[in-house]
Amino acid sequence: MMILAKLALGTASTLMIAGVYTFREGTIRVDVDEHREGGAHVHVWAPAAVVPMALHFVPDDKIREVTDHANEWAPLVRIAAKELRKYPNTTFVEVEDGDDHVKVSTVGAKVQVDVTNPQENVHVTVPLAMVEDVIAQIAARQPAS
Amino acid sequence: MRVARASEVTAAEELFSPPLRINIEDDGVPPRPAHASPSLRRNAMKNFPTRPASIALAGALLLAPLSLLSSDLQAQEVIVTSSSSSTSERWLHVRVIDTNHKGETVRVNVPLEMAEKVLPAINKDRLHSGKIQINHNDIEGVDLKALLEAVRSSKDGEYVTVQSNDNDVRVAKQAGYMVVHVTEKGFKSSKSDKSDKSADKSEEKSYERSRVDVKIPMKVVEALLSAGKDELDLVAALRALSAHGGDTELVSVKSDDSTVRVWLDSKNVSD
């Protein structure tokens, strides 16, 4: 009986620690709602730690394809992500055109893009830590020149 | 009943079971712990290898959600820090209101410190390492750098005043600022005199079609010119703007169909 209890405790703690690690970097959230009849309603809520983990399984040649383009913008994204962390809960860009509304802002340590118009609403939230991790991982997997 | 001697107490036991530790007194009779009977102690010793581990695991389970909470608290701490530091930070704001279409409004708020760090990372076309290359052909042969240098080294005063039918232009240097005013004129036809029925003639009346006001601190102009030949140092200019105290309206454009405003202050939101 004690062994079973210990096993249960071990399993529960492993799951809990795995859960904490997975959600440590926050969550990516994508919400798409089309207002037309039969329109798509996509709601994705995924732990951000999954993305850098998933990158490990991307073949090197595919990563190389990305890094060819990434060299140009990666330093910019890395610095921007690092700097944006210093300005939580700030609206950086806001565009209103009649019923169209676009907003780029930070919410805590996440960057959020909101697009709302009569046709659809799109909300994307990405943790800045994840952006930094992805860029770091892509840079690390670049072939040595 | 055998009582464990101090020498038999392992280091691990010392770590995990300090209340059960028994010291032998000089007379050889160990004082009995008030809270632990020998049988309890034996049980504790028997369970020794797994008990602390179980406690540690249970503790970890209990504390694990706190680590998530702590990251939230950390974020809140950053928010507090940010709001308190917002008074010392300088923000560049751009607001464009286009009345032509469905009232399009664009608002951009950029902290100067962030712009200073991000700008050097952009290497595209003529923008490299926070400096922009200028080509005289692009500005119709005007040597912009020479022009700015001339304004910088001159005393306060009005340098250019142009008054024509279409435009009024004024370029001046005053109180440490370079000031540019451009007014574009338009003409409306209007009936001249209602009493003169026979004539029924119309005359053109001028009105202010658009107005551009630019007011740049001279320190910013100097910083712009601090780069090499045919280059303007944007990062240095941003630094100079950052150091410029007080709220400053840098650019203001008002026309029939749009309003543009670029200004500097310590707030992270535009009005």
User: pLDDT (tens digit, 9 = 90+) per residue, B194-235?
Assistant: 555 555 556 777 788 899 999 999 999 889 888 877 888 999
Those residues whose C-beta lies under 8 Å from the C-beta of residue A120, and which sit 6 or more positions away, are A32, A33, A34, A35, A39
Phi-psi region of B223 (alpha: psi -120 to 50; beta: other; left: phi over 0): alpha
**B11 and B136 belong to one structural domain:** no
pLDDT category at A1 given cuts 50, 70, 90 is confident
Q: Which residue range forms the structural domain that includes residue B219? A: 89-193+203-265
Last residue of a domain, one of B83, B100, B115: B83
pLDDT category at B76 given cuts 50, 70, 90 is very low
**B74 and B122 belong to one structural domain:** no
pLDDT per residue as tens digits for the range A51-104? 888 888 888 888 877 777 777 788 889 999 999 999 999 999 999 998 899 999
pLDDT category at B55 given cuts 50, 70, 90 is low
The answer to the question of residue B198 being in a domain is: no
Cα B229 from Cα B133, distance rounded (Å): 9
The answer to the question of residue B219 being in a domain is: yes
**B69 and B151 belong to one structural domain:** no
**B18 and B101 belong to one structural domain:** no
Q: For the residues B156-182, what does the mean pLDDT come to?
A: 89
Judging contacts by C-beta atoms under 8 Å, the chain A residues touching residue B61 are: 9, 12-13, 16
**B256 and B175 belong to one structural domain:** yes
Q: Does B113 touch chain A (CB under 8 A)?
A: yes
Count of domains for chain B: 2
**B27 and B115 belong to one structural domain:** no
pLDDT category at B125 given cuts 50, 70, 90 is confident
The identity of residue B25, as a single letter, is E
* Residue A82 to residues A78, A133, B40, B73, B89, Cα–Cα distance (Å): 6, 11, 56, 19, 17
**B161 and B217 belong to one structural domain:** yes
Judging contacts by C-beta atoms under 8 Å, the chain A residues touching residue B106 are: 93-95
**B225 and B176 belong to one structural domain:** yes
Q: What is the pLDDT at residue B11?
A: 42
**B119 and B239 belong to one structural domain:** yes
The ipTM is: 0.79
**What does pTM read for this prediction?**
0.69
**B95 and B69 belong to one structural domain:** no
The answer to the question of residue B169 being in a domain is: yes
Nearest CA distance, A93 vs chain B (angstrom): 5
**B99 and B24 belong to one structural domain:** no
pLDDT category at A126 given cuts 50, 70, 90 is very high
